[in-house]
Copies of this chain bind each other. A is one copy, B any other.
Amino acid sequence: MESIVDLDQLATLPGYEHVESEDVYAALDEAGRFLSEVVAPTNTVGDTEGISMRDDGSVTVPEQIAAAYRQLVEAGWPAVTGDPEYGGHGFPGVMATAFQEMLTASNMAFSLCPMLTTSAVEAFQHHGSDELKAVYLEKLITGEWTGTMALTEPEAGSDVGALRAKAWPEDDGTWRVQGTKIYITWGDHEMADNIVHFVLARAPEAPPGTKGISLFLVPKYLVNPDGTLGEKNDVECVGVEHKLGIHASPTCVMAYGEQTGAVAYLVGEVNAGMRCMFTMMNDARLHVGLEGLGLSVRAYQLALAYAQERRQGRAIGAPKDQASPIIEHPDVRRMLMTMKANIEAMRALILDTSAAGDRSAHAGDEADRVAASNRAALLTPIAKAWATDVGVELTSLGIQIHGGMGFVEETGAAQHWRDSRIAPIYEGTNGIQAMDLVMRKLPLAGGAVVADYMAEMEATAEALVAAGDGAAAMGTALQEAVGRLRESTEWLLAAEPVDALAGATPYLRQFGVVAGGYYSSRMALAALHRLESEDDPWLRAKVDTARFYMDQILPQGAGAVPAVVAGGEQLFAVGIDLLD
C-alpha cells in the first residue's frame, strides 16, 4: 500500500488533519482480526442456507449473518469514512477501501449491505438537505440503519433513462413514490431497525430519458419527529431472486407505494437525480472492482494452503518414492503466481483510484481537486471492469488448483467463483464500463486526462530503465506496452462512434493489463529503492512478482490491439438471421 498511496501526504489535506498513518495501519490490522474471527466464518453458512422470503413478504437471513452485522456496527467499522459531524470517523476513502477488500474476502454477500449503505451515504451527504440529513445521516453512517440503491426496473436496466416509477408532491412538502424495482440488493431484512431506500422516479411532467429522473429517500419505517420509528411505509418486498451466487444477500423485487404511494423525500433538485445517482454509482463501481479483488484474495489464500498440503506426483528433482506437494509443480506455481501478480496489480489500481477520490474531495487547491476528480473518473470504469473480469478468472484458477475437489461445493473454492460472477454485471455491466471509458472518459479535458496518465506511466518506465540491471527490462516492457496503449487510445479518440464502441471492451482490457504493469513497475521501483539499504526477502519477492507480471501477463495487452482497431463493420458483417 505504501508504495502506491502516500498516506502521510493525504493526511495533510484539509479535513484529514486528525489522520495518522500509523493509526490507519493499526486499525486495519485490528480490522483483519475482527473480520477473520467474526465475519469470515459466516461465509459458508451464508452460501448454503441463503436467504428466504416468508409468506408475509419479509426476508430471513441466517442468524449468524445478522449477528455479525450487529457486531460490525457496534465495532464502528461502517462509520470509517463518514462525516464526523454525523457520527463518522472522517478517515480517507483509501482506508475504507482497504477495509472493504478484507470485508469482501470475508463474506462478499454480507459486504454488500454496508458497501451499498456507504455509497448511498456518499450521495446523500452531497445532495441531501440539512433537515433530511439531521434525521437519517447519522443512522446510515453508523450502519444502525442500512441503505439501498433502487434504480433498476424490468425494462430499465443498462438504460436507466427508461425507468417508469413515478413520484408526485404532497401539500406537506413530502412526496409519494410508486413503482416496482428489481435487483434491489439487501432490499429487505431485519438486521437493522430501518432500511432507507434511495429510489429513482419521475416527477410529474418530467422530460423523457435521464433528464427527467429525480432521487427520493423512501424509508421502510417512517421516522417520528422525535427520531423514534413510526408506522411502516408503503414498501414491500414482493420477491427474491434465486441466484448463482451471493446467496446470503437478498436480491429483492421491491414494490414501492402499491397501496397509497410510499412516503418519500426529495434528495437534491427535481430532475437532477442522475447526477446524485452517479455520485452513488461511482463509489459503488469502485467497490465492485474491489469485489473482484477481495474474492481473488480469498480464493488465493485457499488455493495456496491446499497446494502446500496436497501431495500428488513427483516434482522434478524431488526425492524418489514420495509424492510432492503440488505447489512444487511448475503449472501449479504458474497458477499461484498468476493470482498473486494480478492481485497486487489490481489492489494498487484500486487504491490509487480511491486516493484520487479522496484528493478530489479534500485537496486544498481547486485545480488539484479537478485533476484528482478527472483521474478518478478515468480509472473507475477500469477498476470496475478489469478487476471484476480478472476476478472471475482468478477465482476460476482457485478451483483449478484444487483439481476435482474444486468442483465439490464443500471445498469452498466454487463459491468464490460463483460469487464473483455478479461483479462484471451489476453497477453497470462491464460493457457499459467500456462504453463509459471510451465515450466519456477518454475525451475528458480534450484527451488530456488520459494523456497525463500515460505520461506518468512512461515516466515510471524511464525510471526503471534508468535503474538498470534487472529493472531495465521491466522498463522497456512497460514502454512498449504504453506505446501500444497510446496507439489504441489515439485510434479511438479519432474513431466514429460505432467503431469506438466496437473496440471499447478489448480496449478496456488492454488498459487494465497495462495499468497493472504500471503499478507493478511502481511497486518494483519502490522495493528496489528500499533494497539498496536493507536486504529484505519480502522486498525481493515484490520485485520478482512484478517481474512475473511484466514478462508473462503484460504481453497479453498487445494481443487486444487488433480487436480494438478492427472497427464496427466486422462485428455486423454476419446478419442476424445467419448468426445461428
Interface residues of A (CB under 8 A from B): 152, 155, 157-159, 162, 182-183, 208, 241-245, 300-301, 304, 308, 311-313, 316-317, 321, 323, 327, 329-337, 340, 392, 396, 399-400, 403-404, 406-410, 414, 417-418, 421-422, 424-426, 429-431, 434-435, 497-498, 501-502, 504-506, 537-538, 541, 544-545, 547-548, 551-553, 555-563, 566, 568, 570-576, 578-580
Measured between beta carbons, the chain B residues less than 8 angstroms from A558 are: 559
Measured between beta carbons, the chain B residues less than 8 angstroms from A152 are: 404
A114 to B450 alpha-carbon distance, docked (Å): 56
The answer to whether A399 touches B418, judged by C-beta atoms less than 8 angstroms apart, is: no
The answer to whether B572 touches A333, judged by C-beta atoms less than 8 angstroms apart, is: yes
The answer to whether A498 touches B330, judged by C-beta atoms less than 8 angstroms apart, is: yes
The answer to whether B429 touches A400, judged by C-beta atoms less than 8 angstroms apart, is: yes
The answer to whether B434 touches A331, judged by C-beta atoms less than 8 angstroms apart, is: yes
Measured between beta carbons, the chain B residues less than 8 angstroms from A541 are: 574-575, 578-579
The answer to whether B418 touches A574, judged by C-beta atoms less than 8 angstroms apart, is: no
Measured between beta carbons, the chain B residues less than 8 angstroms from A407 are: 241, 243-245, 421-422, 425
A162 to B560 alpha-carbon distance, docked (Å): 43
Q: Give chain B nearest CB distance to A456 CB in angstroms.
A: 24
A579 to B572 alpha-carbon distance, docked (Å): 46
Measured between beta carbons, the chain B residues less than 8 angstroms from A571 are: 330, 333-334, 337, 548
Q: Which residue of the partner chain B has the closest CB to A310?
A: B157
The answer to whether A425 touches B410, judged by C-beta atoms less than 8 angstroms apart, is: no
Q: Which residue of the partner chain B has the closest CB to A539?
A: B578
Which one of B183, B244, B334, B501 contacts A331 once the chains associate, using CB atoms below 8 Å?
B501
Q: Which residue of the partner chain B has the closest CB to A336?
A: B579
The answer to whether B545 touches A574, judged by C-beta atoms less than 8 angstroms apart, is: yes
User: Is chain A's interface secondary structure helix, strand, loop, or mixed overall?
Assistant: helix
Q: Give chain B nearest CB distance to A426 CB in angstroms.
A: 7
The answer to whether B313 touches A409, judged by C-beta atoms less than 8 angstroms apart, is: no
A313 to B570 alpha-carbon distance, docked (Å): 21
Measured between beta carbons, the chain B residues less than 8 angstroms from A337 are: 571, 574
Which one of B396, B434, B573 contacts A544 once the chains associate, using CB atoms below 8 Å?
B573
A407 to B426 alpha-carbon distance, docked (Å): 10
The answer to whether A501 touches B573, judged by C-beta atoms less than 8 angstroms apart, is: no
On whether A400 and B430 interact (CB within 8 A), knowing A242-B408, A340-B579, A497-B316, the answer reads yes
Which one of B316, B340, B556, B566 contacts A556 once the chains associate, using CB atoms below 8 Å?
B556
Measured between beta carbons, the chain B residues less than 8 angstroms from A556 are: 556, 559-560
Q: Give chain B nearest CB distance to A510 CB in angstroms.
A: 11
- How many copies of this chain? 2
The answer to whether A330 touches B430, judged by C-beta atoms less than 8 angstroms apart, is: no
A547 to B430 alpha-carbon distance, docked (Å): 25
Measured between beta carbons, the chain B residues less than 8 angstroms from A336 are: 579
Q: Give chain B nearest CB distance to A574 CB in angstroms.
A: 5
Interface centre among A422, A551, A561, A571 (most CB of B within 10 A): A571
16 further A-B contacts with Cβ under 8 Å, apart from A330-B498, A334-B502, are A157-B403, A182-B404, A208-B321, A242-B409, A245-B407, A327-B576, A329-B431, A333-B571, A334-B505, A407-B425, A541-B574, A548-B573, A551-B562, A552-B562, A552-B566, A558-B559
The answer to whether B545 touches A555, judged by C-beta atoms less than 8 angstroms apart, is: no
A392 to B396 alpha-carbon distance, docked (Å): 9
Q: Give chain B nearest CB distance to A523 CB in angstroms.
A: 13
Measured between beta carbons, the chain B residues less than 8 angstroms from A538 are: 578
Q: Give chain B nearest CB distance to A394 CB in angstroms.
A: 13
Measured between beta carbons, the chain B residues less than 8 angstroms from A426 are: 404
The answer to whether B312 touches A408, judged by C-beta atoms less than 8 angstroms apart, is: no
On whether A552 and B545 interact (CB within 8 A), knowing A312-B157, A403-B158, the answer reads no
Measured between beta carbons, the chain B residues less than 8 angstroms from A400 are: 424-425, 429-431
The answer to whether A498 touches B316, judged by C-beta atoms less than 8 angstroms apart, is: yes
A340 to B578 alpha-carbon distance, docked (Å): 11
A408 to B327 alpha-carbon distance, docked (Å): 36
A564 to B561 alpha-carbon distance, docked (Å): 20
Q: Which residue of the partner chain B has the closest CB to A503?
A: B330
On whether A301 and B580 interact (CB within 8 A), knowing A399-B421, A421-B399, A575-B537, the answer reads yes
Interface centre among A162, A332, A333 (most CB of B within 10 A): A333
A244 to B395 alpha-carbon distance, docked (Å): 14
The answer to whether A544 touches B159, judged by C-beta atoms less than 8 angstroms apart, is: no
The answer to whether A431 touches B331, judged by C-beta atoms less than 8 angstroms apart, is: yes
Measured between beta carbons, the chain B residues less than 8 angstroms from A245 are: 407
A506 to B548 alpha-carbon distance, docked (Å): 14
Measured between beta carbons, the chain B residues less than 8 angstroms from A573 are: 544, 547-548
Measured between beta carbons, the chain B residues less than 8 angstroms from A421 are: 396, 399, 407, 414, 417
The answer to whether B575 touches A547, judged by C-beta atoms less than 8 angstroms apart, is: no
Q: Which residue of the partner chain B has the closest CB to A431?
A: B331
The answer to whether B431 touches A404, judged by C-beta atoms less than 8 angstroms apart, is: no
On whether A243 and B409 interact (CB within 8 A), knowing A159-B312, A573-B544, A574-B544, the answer reads yes
